[in-house]
Structure 1
Amino acid sequence: MLVEEVMKEDVITLTPSDSIETALKLLNQYHIRHIPIVDENQCVIGIVSDRDVRDASPSILDEPSESNQLQKPIQSIMTTPVTTVHPLDFVEEVATIFYEQEFACVPVMKSNRIVGIITEKDMLHTLIHLTGTNVQSSQIEVKVLNKPGILPKVTQVFGKRKVNISSVLIYPYKPDSNYKIIVIRIQTMNPLPTIEDLKEAGYEVLWPKMPGMTT
């Protein structure tokens, strides 16, 4: 899945000379948490978060002389440089950026111009769709040998019941690297017939553990 498929295209931006007060109003008005700061060519040169603005806002305990804090330019509190991604980047790879750099959002740039933004919430929503948990389905985990060609052999078993596969994920089997776990979600609330087919084909089903079933 590509970034352009999940990014928000209507991005609220500010220029470096805009005031902190303006940023505060936009954050509240549009219920957003981040605002990219762009130059005259719409190139991202910084970013501010709701926390940045909150920390820069005067407290009711501040002296009156500090009340003009909100009139300072946003460039005085923006974070720079900014990590950006391209619309044709893979969402799965962008997820690594979110995890390793602990970002809450990333602007999307094309030809040195901002064209969108992707947030943690967007990433979680995408993960839900990629794993197929957004549709009514059943999850089956199968332990298989870690060897080429095993995936099509396993999915061939599912074709016997003509059930629709929502998603397929593969995880390492930690106790033994010679095996891996194939996680398949199928659009049925009764996975028992398919589980029996898998067992008859010689595969070990780790989940679900049905009462009375042996591995």
Structure 2
Amino acid sequence: MLVEEIMSKPTVKLSPSDLIEEALALLNEHTIRHIPIVDESDQVVGILSDRDVRDATPSILEPDQNYQILKHDVSSIMTSPVITVHPLDFIEDIASIFYDHEIACVPVTKNNQLVGIVTEKDLLYRLIQLTGIHEQSSQIEIKVPNKVGVLPHVTRIVSERNTNISSVYVYPYQDSYTEKIIVLRIQTMNPMPLIDELKQHGYEVIWPNIPGLSK
């Protein structure tokens, strides 16, 4: 899945010379957490978060606060430089950027101009969709040897039972280089016959681990 499929557009934006009070109003009006800051050519020069604004905004609970800070430019509190991504980047790469840099959003640029924004919420929602968990289904986790042909064999067993697969993904088993976990989400609320058959073919089903089925 590509970034252009999940990004928000058009996006709210500000220039470096706009005031902090304007940023506060936009965050509240649009119920958003981040605002890209762009120059006159629409190139991203910074990013402003609700936390940046909140930290700079005087508390109504404390007397003698300096409310003049709201008249300062957003450039005084924005984060710069900014990591950006391209609309044709893969969302898996974006997830890695979020994790490695501990950030919660990335502006999306094309030809160096802002075209959208992706937040961690956008990314998480799409990753949930990719797992198929939003559909009525059952999940099966199978420990398999890490070798060619295993995944087609497992999916063929599922297909021969006329069961549709909502999603499939593979991840390493602990720190092993010789074993993998195949996670299947199948469109049935009774996975027990399929689990039994997988075990009869010699596969170790680690979830759900139902006592009494064939080993």
Shorter-chain TM band: over 0.9
Q: Which runs of 5 or more residues in structure 1 are unaligned? A: none
- Moved runs in structure 1, 4+ residues, more than 3 A? 59-64
Match of 2:207 in 1: 207
Match of 1:172 in 2: 172
In the superposition, the TM-score normalised over structure 1's length comes to 0.95
In the TM superposition, what whole-angstrom CA distance separates every residue of 1:115-169 from its partner, at most 9, and x where no partner exists?
A: 1110011111011011111111111111111111211111110111111101111
In the TM superposition, what whole-angstrom CA distance separates every residue of 1:61-91 from its partner, at most 9, and x where no partner exists?
A: 3546x32110111111111000000010000
Match of 1:80 in 2: 80
Secondary structure in structure 1 of the residue aligned to 2:195: helix
The Cα of 1:111 is off from its aligned counterpart by 0.7
Match of 1:121 in 2: 121
Secondary structure in structure 2 of the residue aligned to 1:211: coil
- Say whether the 8 Å CA contact 2:19–2:71 is kept in structure 1: yes
Match of 1:18 in 2: 18
Match of 1:190 in 2: 190
The Cα of 1:206 is off from its aligned counterpart by 1.3
The Cα of 1:211 is off from its aligned counterpart by 3.0
> Within 5 Å, which residues of 2 pair with 1:27-176?
27-60=27-60, 61=62, 63=64, 66-174=66-174, 176=176
> Counterpart of 2:134 in structure 1: which amino acid?
N
Matched residues, number = 214
> Counterpart of 1:207 in structure 2: which amino acid?
W
Q: RMSD in angstroms over aligned alpha carbons?
A: 1.4
**C-alpha distance in 2 between matches for 1:206 and 1:69:** 58
**C-alpha distance in 2 between matches for 1:13 and 1:200:** 58
- Say whether the 8 Å CA contact 2:200–2:214 is kept in structure 1: no
> Counterpart of 1:182 in structure 2: which amino acid?
I
**C-alpha distance in 2 between matches for 1:175 and 1:14:** 46
Q: Which runs of 5 or more residues in structure 2 are unaligned? A: none
Secondary structure in structure 2 of the residue aligned to 1:55: helix
> Counterpart of 1:100 in structure 2: which amino acid?
D
In the superposition, the TM-score normalised over structure 2's length comes to 0.95
